């Protein structure tokens, strides 16, 4: 009896000692969904999770230069795999997929269809080519180019209309929300309830759309590896996936 009591006290004290402070680096597009996942995770486990959201390429640079984190969730493999290769991140796994969306301000009718994006004199805002969504955007326009659906030099005209290449996807969306861009390319999950009243989504045929696969993994020298793994597991669990679905993300492929 006494032994049992001792054991359970020990377990309890271990339990409270393992309430960890968790730092998660996550792609800017995950801002809303991961904030909610963090709350649910903390409530369930007693951990305290903090997030740093930015363009995946910025987070990768920071991790490369010694930023401390426990978990890294990137919006593409190009900004994730090098960290695995250099041994900073343990092998990751895809936890969701995302699609592109072309958006325009609600009160600005300059862009009605995809073909309009190559009309001269437009102001388009996209992400820098190092940003995952900027990479997917360029793949999208070259797919359109290849199909020949909107003329010979669609991508040339499109890129001529680009007035800014932003450091992360939320900055891209912001420029449309403020009405300063005629159209922009973001993820479909970026059309959040906060953005929806201000924007129109322009139809993007599936054959031109790009599938973005997001990997997640724990850092090799995470301060609390168990909590980090628990977070990844939670994101992959039914509960985590339900929250991601609610914010417009798709199942991993």
- Residue 84 is encoded by which pair of tokens? 């695995």
Residue 104 engages another protein in binding (rule: CB under 8 A): no
Nearest Cα neighbor of 100 from 235, 179, 205 is 205
- For CA atoms 63, 64, 67, 70, the dihedral sign is positive
82 binding another protein? (CB under 8 A): no
Which one of 9-17, 19-27, 81-89, 176-184 is the stretch in contact with another protein (CB under 8 A)?
176-184
Q: Does 122 bind another protein (CB under 8 A)?
A: no
Task: Name the DSSP letter for residue 170.
Answer: H
The single residue among 84, 162, 195, 202 that binds another protein, judged by CB under 8 A, is 162
> What's the chain's length in residues?
253
Task: Among 61, 90, 157, 209, indicate the residue that binds another protein (CB under 8 A).
Answer: 61
Task: Using CB under 8 A, pick the residue from 88, 102, 103, 128 that binds another protein.
Answer: 128
Q: What is the dihedral of CA 177, 135, 31, 225, to 10 degrees?
A: -170
Q: Which of 27, 28, 58, 191 is in the footprint of another protein by CB under 8 A?
A: 58
Stretch that binds another protein, among 81-89, 92-100, 159-167, 237-245 (CB under 8 A): 159-167
224 is in an annotated binding site: no
Does position 179 interact with another protein (CB under 8 A)? The reply is: yes
Choices 18-26, 54-62, 91-99, 244-252 (CB under 8 A): range interacting with another protein:
54-62
Please name every residue paired with 54 in a beta bridge, in sequence order, or none if there are none. Answer: 27
Shortest Å, Cβ 55 to another protein: 7
- Nearest residue to 233 (alpha-carbon basis) of 221, 244, 217, 220: 217
User: Is 163 strand, coil or helix?
Assistant: strand
Cα(123)–Cα(121) distance, integer angstroms: 7
Quick one: which of 44, 129, 146, 251 contacts another protein (CB under 8 A)?
129
How is 171-194 classified by DSSP, letter by letter? HHHHHHHTT--SEEEEEGGG--TT
**Shortest reach from residue 146's CB to another protein, in Å:** 25
Which residues are near another protein by CB under 8 A? 55, 57-58, 60-61, 123, 125, 128-131, 162-167, 175, 178-180
């Amino acid at each position: 009896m006494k032994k049992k009591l001792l054991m359970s006290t020990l377990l309890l004290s271990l339990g409270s000692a393992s309430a960890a402070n968790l730092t998660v680096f996550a792609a800017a597009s995950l801002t809303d969904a991961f904030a909610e996942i963090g709350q649910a995770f903390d409530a369930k486990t007693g951990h305290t999770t903090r997030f740093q959201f930015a363009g995946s390429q910025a987070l990768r640079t920071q991790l490369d230069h010694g930023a401390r984190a426990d978990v890294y969730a990137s919006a593409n493999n190009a900004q994730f795999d090098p960290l695995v290769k250099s041994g900073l991140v343990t092998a990751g796994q895809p936890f969701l997929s995302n699609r592109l969306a072309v958006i325009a301000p609600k009160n600005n009718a300059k862009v009605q269809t995809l073909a309009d994006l190559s009309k001269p004199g437009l102001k388009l805002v996209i992400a820098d080519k190092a940003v995952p969504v900027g990479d997917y955007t360029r793949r999208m326009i070259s797919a359109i180019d290849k199909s020949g659906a909107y003329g010979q030099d669609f991508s040339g005209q499109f890129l001529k209309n680009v007035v800014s290449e932003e450091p992360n996807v939320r900055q891209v969306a912001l420029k449309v929300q403020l009405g300063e861009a005629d159209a922009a390319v973001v993820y479909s999950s970026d059309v959040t309830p906060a953005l929806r009243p201000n924007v129109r989504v322009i139809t993007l045929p599936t054959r031109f759309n790009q599938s973005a696969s997001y990997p997640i993994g724990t850092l090799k020298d995470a301060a609390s590896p168990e909590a980090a793994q628990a977070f990844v597991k939670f994101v992959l669990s039914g509960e985590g996936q339900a929250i991601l679905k609610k914010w417009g993300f798709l199942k991993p492929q």
